[in-house]
A and B are shown apart, each in its own frame.
Chain A
Amino acid sequence: MKTLLFCLVLLASGPALAAGTQYQLRVDGLACPFCSYGIEKKFMQTPGVESVKFDLEQGLVIVSVAKGIRLSEEQLDALIKDAGFTLRGVRELPPATAGGDTP
């Protein structure tokens, strides 16, 4: 029984334990879905990227990567540039604090 409970707890906490770094990117002009989809598409084609969320009002892109994966500012800049935008700033967030709406 104890083993079963432990397994259930482990299962429930799995995503938190496995969470990796999150990057908060400041990008201008994100109102249009063609734009945000383009950014999302570029990042989701990048190994290790698990999710991309947007806070359109704040002009933020929040990229979550798998544990152990790191993206350099140069990589982030190149991905944003590839999608047709200019990266205005990068902030690394602790895994649990990032929010954002999906546009």
Chain B
Amino acid sequence: MNRHSSLCLGLVLLGFSLLLSACGGASARESGYEWVQSWGGFGQEPGQFNDPIGIAIAGEEVFVADARNARIQVFDFDGRFLRQFGNREQLGRPMHLAIAQGKLYVADYWNDRIALFTLDGRWQGSLGRAGRAAGEFSTPSGVAVDDQGRLYVAEFHGQRVQLLDPQGKPLRQWGTGEKGLWYGRFNYPSDVALDTRGYLYVADAYNDRIQVFDSNGEFSHAWGGPFALNIAGGFDGWFRTAISVTVGPQDRVYVSDFLNHRIQIFTPQGELLDLFGEHGAGDGQFERPIDVAVAPTGELFVVDFGNHRIQKWRPKATRTGH
């Protein structure tokens, strides 16, 4: 195929993709997951939320970042409130969370830092400060921690992901600090996750894709719409704002597809395994899901941002209860 033919084919594919994007599209597949229960609701009381955003699991406890209430709330797997911690001096707007080596890491969007707590809620200090230099943050939105205690931090306005040592010393970064469409650059990255091989997954939110970097930090692959180049849509495997990424058992990748009001589940290579959710406020419906945590048993806990609640889902086949 000569260069002219390739160009024509590319343009036709792009036009077709844009047409599909404009049409939207919805899945008719049956999900392997079923809704179990919801808890929360809008408010300031224990067990209520005002903008729940991040979620993480340790043991049999579910930690939720309750952003506008500037606190972390902890529940059991049946949604029973256990405790809360954090105050407005420690937390501004807590966003996505990570738990590693017995510590809770909180991306604090408002204070431009990563806040650290023990799992029972004792303040352990923070890493970073506001700025654009290496080791500084501009609205950190997501954090992941590897088995050496090193931190990967996604910066929403910083348009980059930074790797820091456990003391906060900068080691490297992905992205240039400027918004970009091409692979290796970001358009408001909102979350990060690591798999068992040390591959880094970035929720490149407004490029509507997941980008993956190998254990050497090199770009590996990306998915989300045609060519993973910022074409949003409602088709299976596409996104309308990929706002969170979580890696679960067997390195399955869970993505909160924010404006499609659904959760999509992929292999590490980006092949779609399952999806569920529809728009609404009823049982099993979402109003802009924003994060997912996966229990070792396979149950999923989804933050239903716009409905100010947590939803629990489970695989249909296992039906394990707690």
Q: Which residues of A pack against B, CB within 8 Å? A: 31-34, 37-38, 41, 83-84, 102-103
List of 8 A-B pairs having minimum Cβ-Cβ separation, nearest first: A34-B156, A37-B93, A37-B109, A34-B190, A34-B141, A33-B51, A38-B157, A38-B139
- B288 on the A face (CB < 8 A): yes
Identity of the chain A residue whose Cβ is nearest the Cβ of B68 in the assembled complex: A102
Q: How many contacts between A and B, using CB within 8 angstroms?
A: 40
> Smallest distance from the beta carbon of B64 to chain A beta carbons, Å?
14
Neighbour of B53 across the interface among A31, A33, A41, A83, CB < 8 A: A33
Neighbour of A31 across the interface among B68, B141, B190, B288, CB < 8 A: B288
- Decide if B188 touches A31 in the complex (CB within 8 Å): no
**Docked CA distance A102–B258 (Å):** 19
Identity of the chain A residue whose Cβ is nearest the Cβ of B95 in the assembled complex: A34
Contact residues in A for B156 (Cβ distance below 8 Å)? 34, 38
Contact residues in A for B243 (Cβ distance below 8 Å)? 32, 34
- Decide if B258 touches A32 in the complex (CB within 8 Å): yes
Task: Report 5 cross-chain contacts, Cβ distance below 8 Å, ordered by A residue.
Answer: A34-B95, A34-B141, A37-B93, A38-B139, A83-B157
- Decide if B157 touches A84 in the complex (CB within 8 Å): yes
Identity of the chain B residue whose Cβ is nearest the Cβ of A56 in the assembled complex: B306
**Docked CA distance A37–B190 (Å):** 13
Contact residues in A for B139 (Cβ distance below 8 Å)? 34, 37-38, 41
- Decide if B109 touches A34 in the complex (CB within 8 Å): yes
- Is chain A's binding surface mostly helix, strand, loop or mixed? loop
- Decide if B51 touches A34 in the complex (CB within 8 Å): no
Q: Which residues of B pack against A, CB within 8 Å? A: 51, 53, 67-68, 93, 95, 109-110, 139, 141, 156-157, 179, 188, 190, 205, 241, 243, 258-259, 288, 290, 305
> Smallest distance from the beta carbon of B225 to chain A beta carbons, Å?
17
Contact residues in B for A31 (Cβ distance below 8 Å)? 241, 258-259, 288
Contact residues in A for B109 (Cβ distance below 8 Å)? 34, 37, 41
Extra contacts, 13 of them, besides A31-B259, A33-B290 (Cβ < 8 A), are: A31-B258, A31-B288, A32-B288, A33-B51, A34-B95, A34-B139, A34-B156, A34-B188, A34-B205, A38-B157, A41-B139, A84-B179, A103-B51
Contact residues in A for B259 (Cβ distance below 8 Å)? 31
> Smallest distance from the beta carbon of B159 to chain A beta carbons, Å?
9
Contact residues in B for A41 (Cβ distance below 8 Å)? 109-110, 139
Identity of the chain B residue whose Cβ is nearest the Cβ of A45 in the assembled complex: B130
> Smallest distance from the beta carbon of B297 to chain A beta carbons, Å?
30
Neighbour of B205 across the interface among A32, A37, A103, CB < 8 A: A32
> Smallest distance from the beta carbon of B279 to chain A beta carbons, Å?
12
Contact residues in B for A103 (Cβ distance below 8 Å)? 51
**Docked CA distance A41–B140 (Å):** 13
Contact residues in A for B68 (Cβ distance below 8 Å)? 102
> Smallest distance from the beta carbon of A15 to chain B beta carbons, Å?
21
Contact residues in B for A33 (Cβ distance below 8 Å)? 51, 53, 67, 290, 305
Identity of the chain A residue whose Cβ is nearest the Cβ of B156 in the assembled complex: A34
**Docked CA distance A32–B141 (Å):** 12
The CB with the most chain B CB atoms within 10 A, among A37, A38, A84, is that of: A37
